[in-house]
């Protein structure tokens, strides 16, 4: 098993870099601008292709007299896949809703088959991306590592006074930890706590991160649902245990 120093923070901490508020066009963000342009072009191309193929195929024409003998204002034959109907069929397929017109010729059915396969892939991809996008927005946090903690000024961070974690930062020769120790010294004694209970209270109040051994922080997280650890272990140590 691996133990080490971890960073404890509250789940309701205010973000130092707030995300952009949701807008009317948030639903477009899961796909890039180029993908949306390609999708629109593909939609228009499929509609135009269906219309052209249907016009040259005898299977897409029908006799109007067989449909309505009372209507004499139209030609004797009509193609059901004109440009508007072709575009309607393409958008209906894209939305997985179908359409009133159905291709009958082999050529138009082939185009429709490939369009259906494409829409199945693009809708599945969009759904997965949109779900992931909403999840990331909800779970975003301003601190992901010790480097993030050291590079900002709003969230204070500290350790237990005269504890082993404090000794670790004081004796460390790693640049990022030396920088963090320098920042903690500059804010002393405000960032150091006399007990873990005091630290938990400050973490829950917000804008404070507490660094301590990961085993103890895991215990606190199990007793307090509003707590979380961010980033990995600062000084990972491996242990091997056997039961006697």
Which tokens sit at 243? 């039961």
Q: What is the mean pLDDT of residues 83-112?
A: 88
Residue 17: alpha-carbon gap to chain centroid = 17
Task: Tell me the pLDDT tens digit for each residue of 153-175.
Answer: 888 999 999 899 999 999 999 99
Neighbours of 229 (CB within 10 A): 18
More confident residue, 59 or 188: 59
Place of tokens 């606190």: 220
Q: Which residue has the tokens 């759904």?
A: 127
Q: Distance between CA atoms of 105 and 131, rounded to whole angstroms? A: 38
Give residue 28's pLDDT. Answer: 87
For the cut 80, the answer to whether the pLDDT of residue 17 exceeds it is no
- Domain residue spans of the chain: 2-13+143-238, 27-139
CATH tag for 27-139 (out of 3.30.499, 1.10.3470, 1.10.287, 1.20.1070): 1.10.287
Quote the CA–CA distance of 159 and 203 in Å, as a whole number. Answer: 12
Residue 156: is it exposed, middle or buried by C-beta count within 10 angstroms (0-12/13-18/19+)?
middle
Distance CA 206, CA 14 (A): 7
pLDDT digit string (tens) for 182-231?
Answer: 999 888 778 999 999 999 999 988 889 999 998 889 888 888 888 888 88
Binned at pLDDT 50, 70 and 90, residue 104 comes out as confident
Q: Say yes or no: domain 2-13+143-238 is CATH 3.40.190.10.
A: yes
**pLDDT confidence of residue 74:** 47
| CA 219 – CA 194 distance, rounded (Å) | 19
| Beta-ladder partners of 62 | 78
Of residues 93 and 58, the one with the higher pLDDT is 93
């Amino acid at each position: 098993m691996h133990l080490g120093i971890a960073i404890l923070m509250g789940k309701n901490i205010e973000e130092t870099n707030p995300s952009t508020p949701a807008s009317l066009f948030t639903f477009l963000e899961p796909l890039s601008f180029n993908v949306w342009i390609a999708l629109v072009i593909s939609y228009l191309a499929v509609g135009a292709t269906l219309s052209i193929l249907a016009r040259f195929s005898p299977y897409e024409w029908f006799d109007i007299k067989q449909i309505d003998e009372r209507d004499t204002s139209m030609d004797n034959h009509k193609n059901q896949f004109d440009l508007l109907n072709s575009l309607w069929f393409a958008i209906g397929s894209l939305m997985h809703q179908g359409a009133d017109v159905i291709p009958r010729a082999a050529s138009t059915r082939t185009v429709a088959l490939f369009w259906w396969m494409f829409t199945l892939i693009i809708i599945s991809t969009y759904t997965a991306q949109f779900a992931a996008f909403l999840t990331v927005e909800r779970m975003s946090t301003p601190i992901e590592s010790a480097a993030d903690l050291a590079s900002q000024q709003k969230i204070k961070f500290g350790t237990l006074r005269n504890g082993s974690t404090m000794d670790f930062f004081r004796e460390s020769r790693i640049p990022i930890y030396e920088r963090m120790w320098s920042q903690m010294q500059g804010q002393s004694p405000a960032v150091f706590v006399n007990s873990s209970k005091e630290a938990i209270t400050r973490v829950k109040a917000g804008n404070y991160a507490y660094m301590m051994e990961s085993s103890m922080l895991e215990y606190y997280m199990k007793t307090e649902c509003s707590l979380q650890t961010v980033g990995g272990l600062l000084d990972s140590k491996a242990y091997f245990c056997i039961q006697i």
